[in-house]
Amino acid sequence: MTDHERGAQIDVAVFGAGRIGRIHAANLARQRGVRLKYVVDVDRAAASALAAQHGAQAVDADAALADGAVGATVICSSTDTHADLIERSAAQGKHVFCEKPVDLAIDRARGCAQAVERAGVVCMIGFQRRFDPTFAAVKARLDAGEIGTPEMLVVTSRDPGAPPVEYIRRSGGIFKDMLIHDFDIFRWILDDEADTVHATGSCLTDPAILDAGDIDCTAVTIRTKRGRLCQINTTRRAAYGYDQRFEVLGSGGMLQAGNVRPTEVTAYSARAVSTDVPEPFFLERYRAAYANEIAHFFEAITGGTPVRTTIADGVKALELAEAASLSWREGRTVRVGCGA
Amino acid sequence: MTDHERGAQIDVAVFGAGRIGRIHAANLARQRGVRLKYVVDVDRAAASALAAQHGAQAVDADAALADGAVGATVICSSTDTHADLIERSAAQGKHVFCEKPVDLAIDRARGCAQAVERAGVVCMIGFQRRFDPTFAAVKARLDAGEIGTPEMLVVTSRDPGAPPVEYIRRSGGIFKDMLIHDFDIFRWILDDEADTVHATGSCLTDPAILDAGDIDCTAVTIRTKRGRLCQINTTRRAAYGYDQRFEVLGSGGMLQAGNVRPTEVTAYSARAVSTDVPEPFFLERYRAAYANEIAHFFEAITGGTPVRTTIADGVKALELAEAASLSWREGRTVRVGCGA
Amino acid sequence: MTDHERGAQIDVAVFGAGRIGRIHAANLARQRGVRLKYVVDVDRAAASALAAQHGAQAVDADAALADGAVGATVICSSTDTHADLIERSAAQGKHVFCEKPVDLAIDRARGCAQAVERAGVVCMIGFQRRFDPTFAAVKARLDAGEIGTPEMLVVTSRDPGAPPVEYIRRSGGIFKDMLIHDFDIFRWILDDEADTVHATGSCLTDPAILDAGDIDCTAVTIRTKRGRLCQINTTRRAAYGYDQRFEVLGSGGMLQAGNVRPTEVTAYSARAVSTDVPEPFFLERYRAAYANEIAHFFEAITGGTPVRTTIADGVKALELAEAASLSWREGRTVRVGCGA
Amino acid sequence: MTDHERGAQIDVAVFGAGRIGRIHAANLARQRGVRLKYVVDVDRAAASALAAQHGAQAVDADAALADGAVGATVICSSTDTHADLIERSAAQGKHVFCEKPVDLAIDRARGCAQAVERAGVVCMIGFQRRFDPTFAAVKARLDAGEIGTPEMLVVTSRDPGAPPVEYIRRSGGIFKDMLIHDFDIFRWILDDEADTVHATGSCLTDPAILDAGDIDCTAVTIRTKRGRLCQINTTRRAAYGYDQRFEVLGSGGMLQAGNVRPTEVTAYSARAVSTDVPEPFFLERYRAAYANEIAHFFEAITGGTPVRTTIADGVKALELAEAASLSWREGRTVRVGCGA
């Protein structure tokens, strides 16, 4: 990541002062030529605290969006506010960085994509995994032809523990809430679109999740238009931490992206040789990725270059989540609409 | 592996003097109280060579089966001879060790199971993977409760290269020929039966395989009666060798069974830190497993203890192969009949 | 690393605007309550550039030291300036962070230690390895008794390539320049003092190094007062990068500190399974350690707590370097003066 | 390992029916054209049991040596019998395989070497580590130039626990009993001879070992005639098992020989990711090496090719053990007599 010289300064408004909002705010603050001007949160205390930390102001959404000096918004508020904030930002000619998902409703998400296109603003979706050094290295080496033509992708994506059931109830279901990242990884790594999707799953960790109409572990299979295969396995609870791996088999070899460990200590006892468990959760695991994606966003704005994770990618991932959800509910293979 | 004292000697006839026949013959020869008496093969030269190596006689099937002194047969001949040799061995009261599959036709396989049961002989199917030290250790630790209740199994099973298309044409298809081992691993590790099976696949390495009505890579998902999930990914061609891994996620952790390498050398160059590729193919990878399974077979016979891989296991794996084949052909999820 | 609230601001002068000076300046700038006020370097352009980057001023040493508002100095200039700057800082009542070594002459280093003590200022020596997350985790687990009593330490410390011979000529020799870090690791990890030191070495990479009176690879053995053993192997040139490992054997097990890799990619080709080589050199390998040590320094100053790497540690490491140098030159085991 | 056709049969007498004698007897029995004829042991019951297992006879040494049909002796009896049995075997024109060390007294060992030479028989010393697949692969890759010119060797050689003090008392000391293998590894891997040896050590596990005039952990440094460096660290007690590793640094990279694990299971718990500890001790660790060395011995005899570990190698390793012992006792660097 290099910071090139930039003439003008970009003022930014961050929506959402929760965990991920705080991460983005801190990373923003490190970009040269970028100033965090506003923090917006329905929890005014949280907004004020985060604003104070970075010399910004806590204001309401209307004020932030009305300020013509604000060149970009960073949307990390609750999912039900994303579409509205994207559309309002775009209408004001502000560039947008938005956390996934665009919206739980595919039509609304498509509407946002159109609004962004009409406004001609940059809109980047926070698929931070593409900016993880390990994942990005796999992609780069794959693109360089190191293992020939990709044929098969196996994604292991496991959370360390389920969120509260109240969260799950409003989450849009495991496919839209959790696997949406994996669907984006699939499209990015195989550089192909789904032809058919099959999903199954179970509720094995907590019956309350089933009562909420959801499941906590899934097994998804995608066959692409070019006949490539992808399997994704997920769970809401891996006792050993946050497990984020994938491997891509090509005609000439395989590339694996492994977990990241806090330290490189190996311990030998009478019973076992052991190393650290993976980083505990996404904030630690994707620390570098979050920094990289924000840098990428502002470089794209200032340099006029395209962003790597567009709102179209956000819509595509959502389509796959919908297809998987349908497959699971109806117990059948689902053919995905049009490709590109 | 322990050799306990055995009073009487068991004379054995081996059917098939190919690669796997030679492995079994050599392992047989090391069992105390076991004598390789006959080698049978349509290729008389091969039979004679193998027989000579172990001080045995090359005879035809009729002669070997007619000899009342032969207490056990070891069937490693071509698949289309398995069922007949099982039935004839059983009819003669001889114990049977038979390579997978029992037969390509599920009904014929079931008939063999009945014949074996009627005759009261031991019949063990050569699912050698259960006897691999690494795989067996995972199973033992799982059974000991180390990771709680199993929830999810991911099996990676990849051959280093496709066999000749002539072989594929007579193989019964990739599900019966190659995945039958993985279906057995699934049943053994999860200790559960399939409720639904979904399979898809592609032909990516050689169009001649497609012309022969088969595919060369598959993605299979099984959901068990207890709601556990299993994903199996296979290919006929992994450029880096024979890839045989699985991992089982439990409520309290995960156990992975990794590949075996020829040596423990690690090389550091200016470009990479590298270790050996996995053992090249099944003869090397499962060398210990083959020795262990033959020892287990004769211990079961002499000790009157049950074998771990019964003909019923062979039938079950075949049922899963049929279900997967049907799922792939019809593009739909298949519900697996009754458990038995 | 946590930032606690601090009332007053500390103004800091950095001496030396080279590689390590730039690292420290950037880390300084991230500490809450710390302001980089001055950058001093004989290369005024370098000083100005670094100062501009952080909103500081480029001044000469006298000006920086004369400013009573400067509470702390960070000394990263050339080795021959260390002692003078330490003494002048101390005389002005300023706290000192100084890169290793204190001085090439042991008596001068001892004089600095006395000056610091008289002045009652904090003086921390930049043994950043103690702040590396992996190394620090080994130490913490060792102290927690995980492997019982430590008995043996093996340190592998290899640079990716030799510096210019001009540098080597002024470096004080490999023991003072390179192994001084390893001597500190030894004292820290074994929590013991040397009784005898044996050192040998060779010049294998470049005869010019020998002409300069130095060697490029060494093998050092230390036996401690409590009879513990330590072996250190070093080279100026490891073709595969910067190799920084150690392992400590205890009565109940072993702890290893391994190298850090840029990514967690594993590649499978037909020839090998490979991962990344270690981080290329100290700036990358110890990035976190540099940040942690600067945070520790300012926490010690503001909190009134002791620093972990004192000037006494700097003197001790230097004594070991002198003993090793003598052992190498005279081909004999050297008994180290007074212990604690 | 390949068995080539051999015309005549070699009759063999094994001296010593202990652990290692049983290993060699079983490996012998698998060589084509080799027959175990006699087992000799002062413990007649042990001799009879081992003889019975392989269809051999238990006789006394005189009878075995007097039998002109015996073409080779395999000497695994106690160390104090080695020299005598080597000389008597040689005098009878029998080829000799002898466990290390040749003798505890260097002069006696040299006498054996001369006796063997005069007799013109093959005499192989049981430095089995050279036949370990991992160690042999490092040597082969080193010889093939993979890492350029070797510069430094680090050997880690640790037993899982000390033998009884009675054994230690008669063992000749840790350098002759335990490190003799490591000295052979040093000569073999660096393909060079020692110029100077420095050894130190301690008794940390059991004061009774010190009372017996020995130590239980050592740190040895060898500088070769070409200026290459070797460090060896050993202990009688590694709590995590038998630790047998080495790494050789070359001008172009590094090769490491790692430990061998019983299985390739990796377990993930909430606390750690863990794998098996190394194989427990030499019988398991060097199982393949023992088989390979016996095959090599008989191939050399029948093929008339030289053995890889000659009695001269045995003498050289003993010289290094003596030099190390002297260095330790006198606390000084020892120059080793004549090189090649």
Residues 6+ away with beta carbon under 8 Å from A135: A129, A185, A246, A257, A289
Please tell me whether residues C109 and C243 are part of one structural domain. no
Cα–Cα dist C304/C270, whole Å: 59
Residues of B in contact with A152 (CB under 8 A): 217, 219, 233, 235
Is it the case that residue B340 has pLDDT exceeding 80? no
Q: Is residue A38 part of a domain?
A: yes
- Chain D residues in contact with chain B using a Cβ-Cβ cutoff of 8 Å: 133-134, 137-138, 141, 146-147, 252-260, 262-270
Complex confidence, ipTM: 0.94
Residue A302 falls within a domain, yes or no?
Answer: no
Q: Which residue has the higher pLDDT, C107 or C30?
A: C107
CB contact under 8 A, C229 and D218: yes
Residue in C157, C111, C151, C131 with CA at minimum distance from that of residue C314: C111
CB pair distance less than 8 Å for C264 and A255: no
Asked whether residue D97 falls in the same domain as residue D51, the answer is yes
Rounded Cα distance between C10 and B327, Å, is 71
CATH code: domain of residue D61: 3.40.50.720
Residue contact A229–B217, C-beta within 8 A: yes
Quote the percentage of chain C above a pLDDT of 90. 95
Q: What value does the mean pLDDT take over residues D247-258?
A: 98
For residue A239, give the nearest of B156, B252, B333 by CB distance: B252
Identify whether D295 is part of a domain.
Answer: no
Which chain A residues touch B219 with a CB distance below 8 Å? 152, 221, 223, 229-231
Task: Lay out the sheet containing D123-125: strands in order across.
Answer: D57-58, D34-40, D10-15, D70-75, D95-98, D123-125
Determine, for residues B151 and A217 on separate chains, whether the beta-carbon distance falls below 8 Å: yes
The string of pLDDT tens digits covering residues C293-334 is: 999 999 999 999 999 999 999 999 999 999 999 999 999 999
The confidence band for D337, taking pLDDT boundaries of 50, 70 and 90, is confident
What residues of C are in contact with residue A286 (Cβ under 8 Å)? Answer: none
pLDDT in the model for residue C44: 96
Q: What does DSSP assign to residue D336? A: -
Residue B4 phi/psi, 5-degree rounding, is -95, 165
* Whole-number pLDDT of residue C255: 98
Confidence of residue D57 (pLDDT cuts 50, 70, 90): very high
| Identity of the residue in D141, D253, D267 whose CB atom sits nearest the CB atom of B253 | D267
Instruction: State whether B139 and B63 are in the same domain.
Output: no
**C126 close to C98: Cβ distance less than 8 angstroms:** yes
Contacts of A158 in chain B (CB under 8 A): 249
Closest by Cβ to B272, choosing from C238, C270, C277: C277
Compute the mean pLDDT over every residue in chain C, rounded to the nearest whole number: 95
Does the structure show a pLDDT above 70 at B156?
yes
Q: In terms of CA atoms, which chain B residue is nearest residue C269? A: B240
Are residues B142 and B250 in contact, defined by beta-carbon separation less than 8 angstroms?
Answer: yes
Residue A201 has pLDDT above 70, yes or no: yes
User: What value does the mean pLDDT take over residues A96-103?
Assistant: 97
Nearest to D262 among B133, B252, B259 (CB): B133
* Alpha-carbon span C257 to C246, nearest angstrom: 5
Same domain, D202 and D137: yes
- Residues A27-53: pLDDT tens digits? 998 898 999 999 999 999 999 999 999
Residue A174 sits in the same domain as residue A39: no
pLDDT confidence of residue D32 = 87
Please give the mean pLDDT across all residues of chain D.
95
Last residue of a domain, one of B121, B155, B178: B121
Q: Specify whether C79 is located in the same domain as C186.
A: no
Residues of A with CB under 8 A from a CB of B: 147-149, 151-152, 154, 156, 158, 196, 198, 200-205, 217-219, 221, 223, 227-231, 233, 235, 237-240, 243, 249-254, 331-333
Q: What are the residues whose beta carbons fall under 8 Å from the beta carbon of C256, sequence distance 6 or more?
A: A265, A266, A267, A268, C138, C245, C246, C247
Same domain for C38 and C147? no
DSSP secondary structure, A96-164, as one string: EEEPSPS-SSHHHHHHHHHHHHHHT--EEE--GGGGSHHHHHHHHHHHTTTT-SEEEEEEEEE-SSPPP
User: Chain C residues with CB inside 8 Å of A265's CB?
Assistant: 134, 137-138, 141, 255-258
pLDDT surpasses 80 at B1 = no
d(CA D326, CA D331): 8
CB contact under 8 A, C275 and B272: yes
Q: List chain B residues with CB under 8 Å of A233.
A: 152, 154, 229, 231
Looking at residue D115, its amino acid is A
What are the CA-CA distances from residue D28 to residues D38, D49, D51, D90 (Å)? 12, 16, 12, 20
End-to-end alpha carbon distance in chain C? 31
In a shared domain, residues B108 and B149: no
What contacts B226, CB < 8 A, 6 or more positions away? B192
Q: Which of B244, B268, B275 to mutate to test the interface with C (most CBs of C within 10 A)?
A: B268
Rounded Cα gap, residues D267 and D255, in angstroms: 27
Q: What confidence category does residue A107 fall into, taking pLDDT thresholds of 50, 70 and 90?
A: very high
For D172, the enclosing helix (H) or strand (E) is none
φ, ψ for residue D41, nearest 5 deg: -160, 140
| Cβ contacts of D223 on chain C, cutoff 8 Å | 200, 202, 219
Q: Could you list the residue range(s) of the whole structural domain that residue C77 is in?
A: 10-121
D318 to chain A, closest Cα gap in Å: 32
pLDDT of C339 reads 37
Residue B338 pLDDT > 70? no
Which chains are adjacent to chain C, needing at least 3 Cβ pairs under 8 Å? A, B, D
In the structure, what pLDDT confidence band is assigned to residue C5 with cuts at 50, 70 and 90?
A: very low
Residue type for position D57? Q
CA C90/CA C121 separation, integer angstroms: 6
Q: What is the mean pLDDT of chain B?
A: 95
* Of the partner residues D267, D273, D275, the one whose CB lies closest to the CB of residue A276: D273
Cis peptide before C133 (omega within 30 of 0): no
Give me the percent of chain C exceeding a pLDDT of 70.
Answer: 97
Does residue B156 share a domain with residue B78? no
Q: Is C311 part of any domain?
A: no
Nearest CB among B148, B196, B233 relative to A152 is that of: B233
Single residue among A84, A104, A121 that ends a domain in this structure: A121
3-class DSSP state of C212: coil
Residues from chain A that touch B149, judged by Cβ atoms under 8 A, are 204
Note whether D154 contacts C158, CB cutoff 8 Å. Answer: no
Which positions in chain B touch C271 (Cβ < 8 Å)? 274, 277
Inter-residue contact D253 to B268 (CB < 8 Å) = yes
Q: Which of B74, B94, B121 is the last residue of a domain?
A: B121
**C74 domain residue, yes or no:** yes
How far apart are alpha carbons B189 and B294 in whole angstroms?
A: 21
Min distance C240 CA to chain D CA atoms (Å): 6
pLDDT, residue A340, reads 34
Torsional sign, CA B302, B304, B307, B308: negative
Q: How many domains does chain B have?
A: 2
Please indicate, yes or no, if residue B300 is contained in any of the structural domains. no
pLDDT tens for residues B186-203? 999 999 999 999 999 999
CA-to-CA separations, B23 to B27, B61, B98, B296, B309, in angstroms, rounded: 6, 20, 14, 15, 19
Query: Cβ contact (<8 Å) for B277 and C267?
Result: no
CATH number assigned to the domain comprising residue B267? 3.30.360.10
- pLDDT above 50: residue D262: yes
Compute the count of residue pairs across chains B and D with CB atoms less than 8 Å apart: 78
**Residue D202: which pLDDT band, with cuts at 50, 70 and 90?**
very high
| Residues in A touching D267 (Cβ below 8 Å) | 272
Q: Which residues of C touch B238 (CB under 8 A)?
A: 268
Q: Taking CA atoms, what residue in A is nearest to C3? A: A53
Q: Is the Cβ pair B277, C272 closer than 8 Å? A: yes
pLDDT at A305 over 90: yes
Domain check: are B270 and B253 in the same one?
yes
Does residue D302 belong to any structural domain of this protein?
no
Which of B263, B266, B274, B281 to mutate: most C Cβ within 10 Å? B274
How much is the pLDDT for C338? 46
Show residues of chain A in contact with C156, CB under 8 Å.
none
Chain C residue numbers touching A138 (CB-CB < 8 A): 265
Kindly write down the DSSP assignment for every residue of B51-95, as one continuous string.
Answer: HHHTT-EE--HHHHHH-TTEEEEEE-S-HHHHHHHHHHHHHTT-E
Q: What is the DSSP string of C136-165?
A: HHHHHHHHTTTT-SEEEEEEEEE-SSPPPH
Euclidean distance between the first and the last CA atom of chain A, given in angstroms as a whole number:
30
Report the C-alpha gap between B137 and B153 in whole angstroms: 16
Closest in C138, C147, C265 to A257, CB measured: C265
**Is A223 inside any structural domain?**
yes
**Which among B268, B270, B277 has CB closest to C268?**
B277
Tell me what the mean pLDDT of segment A127-136 comes to: 98
Q: For residue range A218-270, what is the model confidence (pLDDT) as tens digits?
A: 999 999 999 999 999 999 999 999 999 999 999 999 999 999 999 999 999 99
pLDDT for position C333? 97
Residue D5 has pLDDT above 70, yes or no: no
Measuring CA to CA, which residue among B48, B49, B43, B79 is closest to residue B169?
B79
Q: Are residues B202 and B269 in the same domain?
A: yes
Asked whether the beta carbons of C147 and C190 are under 8 A apart, the reply is no
| Subunit contact B273:C239, Cβ cutoff 8 A | no
- B6 vs D23, residue with greater confidence: D23
Helical segments of A133-261, H only: 133-143, 165-169, 174-177, 179-190, 207-211
The answer to whether residues C138 and C257 belong to one domain is yes
